[in-house]
Amino acid sequence: MSTLLTCDSLSMRFGGLVALNQLSLAVSAGEILGLIGPNGSGKTTFFNVITGIYQASEGRVDYLGHDLARMRAQDIYRAGVTRTFQRSRLCLPLSIFDNLMIGNHRRLNHSLWFNLVRRSAFRAQFEEQYAQALALVRTFSQSLAERLFEAAGSVNMIDRRRIEICRALISQPTLLLLDEPSAGMTHEETRELMDDILIVREHMPGLAIIIIEHEMNVIERITERCIVLNYGQKICEGPYAQVAADRQVQEAYLGTE
Amino acid sequence: MAGVTVFAVLFLHAESQEEVMGLTLGAAAALLLLARFGWNALAAVSFAGHSRTGQAAVLIGVLIIAAVFYDQHFPLLMLASVLLYIVVCLGLNLQFGYAGVLNFAGAAFFGVGCYTAAVLTSHTSLPHLAVVLIGGLMAAGIGSLLILPVLRTHGHYAALVTIAFSILFRVFLEVNDTLGGPQGMKVQGMEILGWKLNDSLAFGEIEISFYANYVVLALVMAAVAFMLVRRLERSWIGLNLDAVRLDETACAAFGIDVARWKITAFTLGNFLTGLAGSVYAMMTGFVAPNSFTFGDSLILVSIVILGGLGNPWGLSVAAAIVLMLPEKLQFIQEYRLLLYAALVILILLFRPGGLMPRQVRSYLPGWKP
């Protein structure tokens, strides 16, 4: 598989605190990469740097010829990188459909003329997008698909997470960053959610996923490769079984018996 | 709808304080009863379903009210003012209700429109429709000077920038002698393609107040502005504005250009405000700095909050209430700012969505999944 993303000695410093320390890694197209490590080891910071929310202090992030470390968040999204947030960031007063369309921004027409005057063209685009949103949400939950025009704040936490994942998927990205998708869910719900993500992925060949997760059975089940961070540094890399057996990883994160 | 029209006629007709008080309390009681039985929710739903007929009914209602008072200056002036204020509040609603840009300088931008009309009608012979347009553009242009500090600040601080501008504007007018200083300026009546809006119309015996002309003009403006804002809300742009208000980080992560949409909303809103201002100046024939105080800006903001942030219908109702009540109930006049403040606090405490809370967006009228 071809390489999609390459980080080259990426560093992020907040004053004296080094959140990412000379991190280098590569992700191939279509791969699912797990990112694990103790709290504060720099996992979410890594996502924030890649998506342009933080500006990296040093290093390059090469993605299909772009240097993400020097790009604005909105341009990174347009290049096909989307994410979910560790703490849900939905617009709760807006409808579920509205939230999905926020994620679909790059595929909608935003000109004043189109939106205000050409209402029949707008209608056509709206109906097309509605059909796509409906199909995507159905993969995750039928009952949710029936409630697309209700406020996102009116559904429970699990459905909110589903909406957030749909919001990140609907624009058909090439790289999806999932920040602890299972937080606050039971094992059963987590398993369902992961199955749904895998189903959607079958329709999107080439979609690479980086997932931050503390549920080790999720990591074990869906990832092909893992990277373990500690104090902003990569301490281990490889398939889960190999990583889990590593002494350093056990000491830093998994715990020894 | 018919009931509302009759009520408005009675209200404008009422002379004595007791009558006005009685009518006001009666309306409040009726609304409370409606709310108690959940009928207003029903009304809102049926309104959404038949939005075309609903809109037509409102237009006809306004025209009926105008027809009833065809020969009286004051009620027609009130009516036209309410309609122009609706245009202004629609503009503020774009900024505040959708994009979340607090603008405490609404009256100042209104004043920019007024003074543009005053200067252009007395010193040039531009056609008056062009003057109105330039009034809007001036307000939008001066607003774009403010946009840089507004974009660089957030929330309360952006509001402070507009408050500063509002005060600055008034002081500037008062010390500027070419603009008449504290005395203000005279403004010529409007003339569109030979039609002088300040001449009374006479059909045989019946003489119609010239304010009827302005009612028609203001009604057209309000209807167009209303349609514009509704369409904007029911589009991807309306969605972008909402997203900008609710979560700027999520916006950035999904490619929504926060600055672009704040500028769009701010500029469009100020444009509408300036348009309304220049027509208002030509209607009243006179402008003075005293009409554009910070207090007036606060009243505009309170109309938008009172009506229900983001709901054009709500702010239209609120504009009518806030403008007409103190005119009719003279004893309120002195305390009106106090009263509005109390009202806004009560609304924010007990009904944060306003009198008519905004519904979830539907992109196409009458569309069902």
In contact, A37 and A230? CB cutoff 8 Å: yes
Which of A105, A126, A137 is the mutation pick for testing B, counting most B CBs within 10 A? A105
Which residue of chain A has the CA closest to B225? A116
Residue B321 burial (CB count, 10 A): 18
Alpha-carbon Rg of chain A, whole angstroms? 19
**DSSP-assigned letter for residue B330:** G
Highest mean pLDDT among B123-127, B136-140, B172-176, B347-351: B136-140
Q: What is this model's ipTM?
A: 0.87
Which chain A residues are Cβ-neighbours of B246 within 8 angstroms?
A: 91-94
Lookup: tokens for B271: 């444009």
CATH code for the part of the protein at B72-350: 1.10.3470
* Tokens describing residue A189: 């719900």
**Complete DSSP assignment for B215-257:** HHHHHHHHHHHHHHHHHHHTSHHHHHHHHHHH-HHHHHHTT--
pLDDT in tens, B315-351: 888 888 888 877 777 676 677 778 778 888 888 888 8
d(CA A89, CA B246): 10
**Nearest chain B CA: its distance from A115 CA (Å):** 6
Q: Is A102 at the interface with chain B, CB within 8 A?
A: yes
- In A31-50, the residues whose Cβ lies within 8 Å of chain B are none
B→A interface, C-beta within 8 Å? 228, 231-232, 235-237, 239-240, 242-243, 246-247, 249-257, 264, 360-364, 369
B165's CB contacts (< 8 A; 6+ apart) are B105, B108, B146
Crossing angle of the two packed helices B258-284 and B236-246, in degrees rounded to 10: 110
Give B20-75 as a DSSP string. Answer: HHHHHHHHHHHHHHHHHTTHHHHHHHHHHHTHHHHHHHHHHHHHHHHHHTTT-HHH
Q: Phi/psi of residue B257, each to 5°? A: -80, 100
- Which amino acid is present at A81? V
Output the CA torsion sign for B112, B116, B118, B123.
Answer: positive
Beta-bridged to residue B242, according to DSSP, are none
As annotated, the residues of chain B forming the CATH 1.10.3470 domain(s) are 72-350
Question: Quick check: B187 and B287 in contact, CB under 8 A?
Answer: yes
**H helix runs in chain B, sequence order:** 2-13, 17-36, 39-49, 51-68, 73-92, 106-123, 128-152, 155-175, 211-233, 236-246, 248-253, 258-284, 294-307, 312-328, 336-350
Name the amino acid, one letter, at A198: L
Which range scores top for mean pLDDT: B25-29, B108-112, B183-187?
Answer: B108-112
Task: Assess whether pLDDT exceeds 70 at residue B78.
Answer: yes
**Interface mutation vs chain A, best among B52, B231, B235, B236, most A CBs within 10 Å:** B236
Chain B environment of A51 (Cβ under 8 Å)? 253
Rounded to whole angstroms, the Cα distance separating A98 from B363 reads 10
Exposure class string for A76-103: b at 16+ Cβ within 10 A, else e? bbebbbbbbbeebbbbebbbbbbbbbbb
- Please answer yes or no on whether B360 and A53 come within 8 Å at the CB atom: no
Asked if the Cβ–Cβ distance from A89 to B240 is below 8 Å, we say no
Q: What pLDDT does A235 receive?
A: 86
Q: No. of H helices and E strands in chain A?
A: 11, 10
Task: From chain A, pick out residues whose CB is under 8 angstroms from the CB of B244.
Answer: none
Question: How much is the pLDDT for A99?
Answer: 92
Say if residue B330 is exposed, middle or buried (CB neighbours under 10 Å; 0-12, 13-18, 19+): exposed
What average pLDDT does range B148-163 have in this prediction?
83
To probe the interface with B, which of A74, A143, A167 has the most B CB atoms within 10 Å? A74
Task: Determine the Cα–Cα distance for residues A227 and A211; give it in Å rounded to an integer.
Answer: 10
Integer Rg of chain B from CA: 20
What's the pLDDT score for residue A202? Answer: 85
- Which residues 110-129 in chain A show a CB within 8 A of chain B? 110, 112, 115-116, 119, 122-123, 126
Q: Which residues of B touch A108 (CB under 8 A)?
A: 236
Look at residue B156 in the predicted model and tell me its pLDDT. 80
Distance CA A219, CA A225 (A): 9
Which residue in A105, A110, A149 is closest to B254 by CB distance? Answer: A105
Burial of B12 (0-12, 13-18, 19+ CB in 10 A): buried
Complete domains list, chain A, with CATH: 1-80+173-257 (3.40.50.300), 90-171 (no CATH)
User: How many other CB atoms are found less than 10 A from the CB of residue A157?
Assistant: 12
List the single range of A109-118, A124-133, B32-41, B268-277 with lowest mean pLDDT. Answer: B32-41
pLDDT the model gives residue B268: 93
pLDDT at position B274, please? 93
Per CB-CB distance under 8 Å, the chain A contacts of B361 are: 94-95, 98
Mean pLDDT of B68-90: 85
Q: Name the average pLDDT for chain B.
A: 81
Closest CA to A148 of B176, B363, B43: B363
The amino acid occupying position B50 is H
Q: What's the pLDDT at A204?
A: 85
Residues of B in contact with A95 (CB under 8 A): 360-361
Among B235, B309, B311, B364, pick the best mutation site for testing chain A contact (most A Cβ within 10 A): B235
Per residue in B197-225, pLDDT (tens digit) is: 666 666 666 777 778 888 888 898 999 99
Low-confidence ranges of chain A (pLDDT < 70): 1, 256-257
Which residues face A60 on adjacent strands?
A: A8
φ/ψ (deg, to 5) at B235? -150, 175
pLDDT value at B45 more than 60: no
Per-residue pLDDT band for B275 (boundaries 50, 70, 90) equals very high
Residues of A with Cβ-Cβ distance to B255 under 8 angstroms: 73-75, 77-78, 105-106
Separation of alpha carbons B240 and B251, rounded Å:
8
More confident residue, B182 or B82: B82
